Structure 1
Amino acid sequence: MLYRPMGRTGDQVSILGYGCMRLPQQNGRIDEARTERQIVSAIEQGVNYFDTAYFYHNGKSEAVLGKILAKGYRDRVLVATKLPLPLVHSRKDMDTLLDTQLKRLQTDHIDYYLMHMLTGMAGWQRLKQLGVEDFLERARQAGKIRRIGFSYHGGKDQFPRIIDDYPWEFCQIQYNYFDEHNQAGRDGLEYAAAKGLGVAIMEPLRGGFLVGKMPPAVQAVWDRAPVKRSPAEWALRWIWNHPEVSLLLSGMNEESHIAENIRIAGEALPQSLSAAELALVGEVKETLGKMMKVGCTGCGYCLPCPAGVNIPLCFSSYNDKYLFNDRMPQFNYLGFTAGVDGGQPSYASLCRNCGQCEKHCPQRLPIRRHLQEVAADMERFYFKPVMGLVRGYFKIRGLFKGARQAEH
């Protein structure tokens, strides 16, 4: 495992940080046994930075991580979590939320504490008016938090203003080869590093968009590379090629992915990609950009939708249809959004045009307009009749199965 300094903090962090937003699940809940095996294995192989948040896994991520680390691992790692800004309405709320997080994490201190999801100066000014500076200083003096930072999801113009307005020690930004100039972007990365801040990178794989099965046109570019690497390795190495990056966060939940990421994190030195390799990545970026319909990362901040629309799933199916020139995403869209798993329908045309989702979107996407595009393209004249038949089939099947079980 390679390590880098976390800005001016004096901490040496593993260049691979463990994101606890997408832990493995079973029956709709965190699979705690599997999660523990994965996290302990990562610690034993040198990962020393774990990032969670109040809202992750509906509030369960902090508690599960704390339970695991309490088994003799807490002193071997740095824990990062975040003040949930939507729940902060007073100075007292800040103390109450922090104490709740300390209890969940079964620890007396949080190493890296972030203001979660700042999008501009307005949000930061609101916190200041509520007394956040006093809160942070008192919490630090009490030993409850060690390092103070923020995660950012706004435009590039607001980012340096926030950095210059408080003595931050680190920040967390979205950055990957596809989003090199989106949000804080390369300019923000370099600005923060020049100010002495540690920089943690989130969404290095753009919510999985940059990995897995690649469209043939993209895979053809990767296949031309003299050194054969998976799409994930290319994406991670591109980020670690930047000396300004302290670490990147990967939401790992598959053993094979963890093993691959740790292997790469033992090899990826800054400025180690050649000019030809960087050009290849640029070609992939250009090819993907021409094929992609909606720039959604699948982060889920737009949820829950009051109308029940599964916005990330709608956009993912829509993108897949054009990225892979395949009819299967159309069938998947029908099956996944019809509610055949016992849930409620979640297709795009359920949108009521309320706009709540757009207020929370880190990408500032015109979600309502895109949902109209998805509905027009994916929900042809036969969609709702077929959806009704599918739901009816599974309902009858469930009733039949229940009757048979009752007989026994």
Structure 2
Amino acid sequence: MVEKRLIKKSGEELSLLGFGLMRLPLKPGTKDIDKALALEMVDYAKNKGINYFDTAYVYHEGNSELFAGEALSRYDRNSYNLASKMPLMVVRSEADVERIFEEQLKKCRVEYFDYYLLHSMNVHHLKIAEDNKVYEQLKEKQRQGKIRRLGFSFHDAPEVLTQIVAKWDWDFAQIQLNYLDWEQQDAKGQYKILNDKGIPVTVMEPVRGGSLASLGDEADSIFKAADPKASVSSWAIRFAATLPGVQVVLSGMSNLDQMKDNISTMENFKPINEADQKVIDKAVLAFRTTGAVPCTGCRYCMECPQGVDIPRNLALYNAYLFNKERNRPNYQFGFMMEYNGMGKAKQAQNCVECKQCEEKCPQHIEISKQMGLIQEVNKTVTASLPPRH
């Protein structure tokens, strides 16, 4: 059975591994959920002790909640925790909140949500939440017993997270956290803000949408040399699950093999120790230096007089090229989210080509040139994706 975590704040026990219903298996050549396989995965997860299932209004073009309702209604309601989210990206009025919430209950075939989140909170969605009294309406739902725990998922800079945490009371929060984003997206800073406030953390993207299942031959060989039996992705799952205050590590599993591997990791869970962390650091360094830009993240180039976070921009650029080369799903959207989440003050667009950083770089990287390329990538990606609401 998978590892369980006792949540001190609520006194309940959650499976450390949660099943994210965002990347369910699809029928070949379609966008339709392969229901037979997905149901088999839910059953396997339940039998192995997973009791946390995460869906959302927008997942699978609105069909994830319908699937969750069909799959989980076959089980005793007290045997699982269901999480869903208020889609701030489609909220236009206060009335939308009531309508959408009731629609979600009906789709999921439940009378209450165990965990409910304001979806994808950022500086833009914070204003939508304020203007439409989203938190206040959901808090009333909690008083009515239709929500047990109220939280939010987050995609923005730490300073915005600080605003959100200070503005309202929260039962939990969900952030993107993995060993690559620990520094690259300052997941470390986000985690600290929540942990210092005693807010339990649910982790999303521990394997970074699958990209940490393989970091290239050199980095993968480092993990394999340290533990030949463990998958590369298991290191990412263990990293997230080791952190104090983490209540659930969500994985959007797309097939039974992924599920079996993740469950195996959580059945015999071994926290990351000091020696393991050195292996991770070595693999991350290999990943970074074998990219298009051989940046090691040493930060000798900092501080930039214009405020540009040079190492972070270069890391995002390398990740973009790595994922593009492998045609990984949503690589453009991922870049846009991370680039915007950095905050305008730290973006490559502020580079004035003073080249002070280049004089300090031990790798002799033409940093000003790379900043220009990153700006071009951002323009291309922004133009190719639909506008954000």
> By the TM > 0.5 criterion, same fold?
yes
Q: Does 1:253 align with 2:260?
A: no
Percent identity for Structure 1 against Structure 2: 30
1:218-237 maps to which residues of 2 (within 5 A)?
A: 218-225=219-226, 228-237=229-238
- Name the structure 1 match of 2:9: 8
Alignment partner, residue 282 of structure 1: 281
Q: Give the whole-Å Cα distance in 1 for the aligned partners of 2:292 and 2:173.
A: 30
Alpha carbons of structure 1 residues 225 and 164: separation in structure 2 relative to 1, 3 Å:
same
Amino acid of the residue matched to residue 76 of structure 1? S
Q: Secondary structure at the match of 2:75?
A: coil
Establish whether residue 165 from structure 1 lines up as the match of residue 136 from structure 2.
no
- Are residue 41 (structure 1) and residue 44 (structure 2) matched? yes
In the alignment, the residues of structure 2 paired with residue 372 and residue 186 of structure 1 have an alpha-carbon distance, to the nearest angstrom, of 28
Instruction: List, as ranges, runs of 4+ consecutive aligned residues in structure 1 with deviation greater than 6 Å.
Output: 357-360, 365-368, 371-374
**Distance between the aligned counterparts of 2:335 and 2:288, measured in 1?**
25
What amino acid maps onto 1:54 in structure 2?
A: Y
The structure-2 alpha-carbon separation of the partners of 1:359 and 1:221, relative to structure 1 and needing over 3 Å to count, comes to: closer
Alpha-carbon spacing, 1:234–1:60, altered in 2? closer, same or farther (3 Å)? same
1:186 matched residue in structure 2: 188
Q: Is the 8 A contact 1:183 1:363 kept in 2?
A: no
Residue 370 in 1 paired to residue 377 in 2?
yes
Whole-angstrom CA distance in 2 between matches of 1:220 and 1:253: 25
Larger radius of gyration: 1
| Alignment partners' CA distance in 1, 2:251 and 2:88 | 23
After TM superposition, the structure 1 stretch with the greater mean CA deviation from structure 2, 63-72 or 216-225, is 216-225
Q: 1:246 to 1:184 in 2, by over 3 A?
A: farther
Match of 2:371 in 1: none
> Structure 1 counterpart of 2:33, which letter?
I
Amino acid at match of 2:150: I
1:148-159 correspondence runs (5 A): 148-159=150-161
CA distance in 1 between counterparts of 2:185 and 2:165 reads 14
Query: Is 1:361 paired with 2:362?
Result: no
Counting only pairs closer than 5 Å after superposition, residues 91-170 of structure 1 correspond to structure 2 as 91-120=94-123, 122-170=124-172
Instruction: Tell whether the 8 Å contact from 1:5 to 1:198 is kept in structure 2 after alignment.
Output: no
The CA deviation at 1:285 is 1.2
- Answer whether contact 1:190 1:244 (CA < 8 A) is retained: no
- Contact 1:199–1:247, Cα closer than 8 Å, also in 2: yes
The structural deviation recorded for 1:318 is 4.2
Deviations 1:193-246 (A, max 9, x none): 23222211011111111114x422212322331564210111111111212211
| Distance of 1:320 and 1:91 partners within structure 2 | 39
Amino acid at match of 2:223: W
CA RMSD, Structure 1 to Structure 2 (Å): 3.0
Equivalent residues of 1:9, 1:198 under 8 A apart: no
CA deviation profile, 1:238-265 (whole Å, cap 9, x unmatched): 1112122111100112112111111111
Distance 2:256 2:335 in 1: 35
Q: Deviations over 1:368-403 (max 9, x none)?
A: 7227789xxxxxxxxxxxxxxxxxxxxxxxxxxxxx
Which whole-Å deviations, capped at 9, do the CAs of 1:301-320 have from their partners, x for residues lacking one? xxxxxxxxxxxxxx989425
Structure 1 residues 358 and 276: alpha-carbon distance in aligned structure 2, compared to 1, 3 A threshold: closer
Question: How many residue pairs align between the two structures?
Answer: 323
1:268 aligns with 2:269: yes
Contact 1:179 1:185 in 2 (8 A): yes
Determine helix, strand or coil for the equivalent of 1:114: strand
Amino acid corresponding to residue 155 of structure 2 in structure 1: H
The alignment status of 1:60 with 2:63, answered yes or no, reads yes
2:202 to 200, 203, 206: 200
CA distance in 1, matches of 2:153, 2:164: 11
TM-aligned CA distance change 1:51 to 1:68, over 3 Å? same
Residue 380 (structure 1) aligns with:
none
Give the 3-state SS of the residue equivalent to 2:244 in structure 1: coil
What CA distance in whole angstroms lies between the structure 2 residues aligned with 1:228 and 1:173? 29
- Measure the CA separation in 1 of the matches of 2:31 and 2:144: 38
Q: Does the Cα contact within 8 Å between 2:224 and 2:232 map onto a contact in 1?
A: no
Letter in 2 for 1:370: V
User: Which secondary structure does the structure 2 equivalent of 1:209 belong to?
Assistant: helix
Q: Structure 2: which amino acid aligns with 1:60?
A: N
How far the C-alpha of 1:267 sits from its partner, in A, is 2.3
Distance 1:78 1:258, change over 3 A: same
SS at match of 1:72: coil
Report the TM-score when normalising by structure 2: 0.75
Unaligned runs of 5+ in 1: 295-314, 323-328, 337-345, 349-356, 375-408
**Residue 210 of structure 1 aligns with which residue?**
212
